[in-house]
Amino acid sequence: MTPRRGERRRQKRSNAAMSNADAANSANPAILRETDESVKIAAMAKKLIIVLVNTDPRNGEELGAPFFHAAVAAAMDFEVQVICAATAGRLMKKGVAERLTVKPGADKTVYDFIRDAHEHGARFYACPANLDLFEMTEQDLIPECAGLMGSAAMIAQIMDEDCRVLTY
C-alpha cells in the first residue's frame, strides 16, 4: 500500500530526525527515546504555537514571516496555532489586515498571508484582553480566527513537551 501524502512527509521528517539524532549526542534522553528494538528515534513535536506579542501592525515588514512560517508548518502537517496578543491582536479585527502590506506597493496584503496559513490548516486565536483594549467584540474578528485563547490556556499548551513555540 502506498503511503498517503501526509504520511510520506511525516516519514521523511522522521528519517531526517533519525539522521540528525545519530549525529547528536545519543546519551541525551531529552532528545532521544528508545523503541522496543533499541533503535534511537528523535522525539519530534507535533504542534507549533506561534505567538505574536511583540509584532506591531504599524511595521508591515514584521508581519510576513510569522504567517509564512505558519503556512509552511501547517503544510508540513504540523498542528499550528497562531495567537495574536498585545498590539498584534489588532490583526484579528476585520478590516485591519486587509489594509496592510509587508512591503509598500505590494499586491499581497497581510490578510492574504493569514488566509494562506489558514487554508493550509493553521488556526488563529485572539487574546481575550484585546477585545476590551481595542474596543472589539467577537463579531469583529476575522472569519479565520477560531476564537479566543487566554493566557492560562496558552501557557498550558506551551508547557506541553509535544509543542514548540516561535514568538514574534
Q: Which of 148, 129, 150 is nearest to 138 (CA)?
A: 148
- Give 54-89 pLDDT, tens digit per residue: 999 999 999 999 999 999 999 999 999 999 999 999
CA distance 40 to 34: 5
User: Which of 138-145's residues contact partners 24+ apart within 8 Å by CB, and which partners?
Assistant: 140/93, 140/94, 141/92, 141/93, 141/94, 142/92, 142/93, 142/94, 142/97, 142/111, 142/114, 144/114, 144/115, 144/118, 145/92
Number of CB atoms found within 10 A of residue 150's CB: 14
Q: What is residue 44's predicted lDDT score, i.e. its pLDDT?
A: 83
- Give 13-31 pLDDT, tens digit per residue: 444 444 443 444 444 344 4
Domains of the chain from N-terminus onward: 5-42 (no CATH), 47-167 (3.40.1260.10)
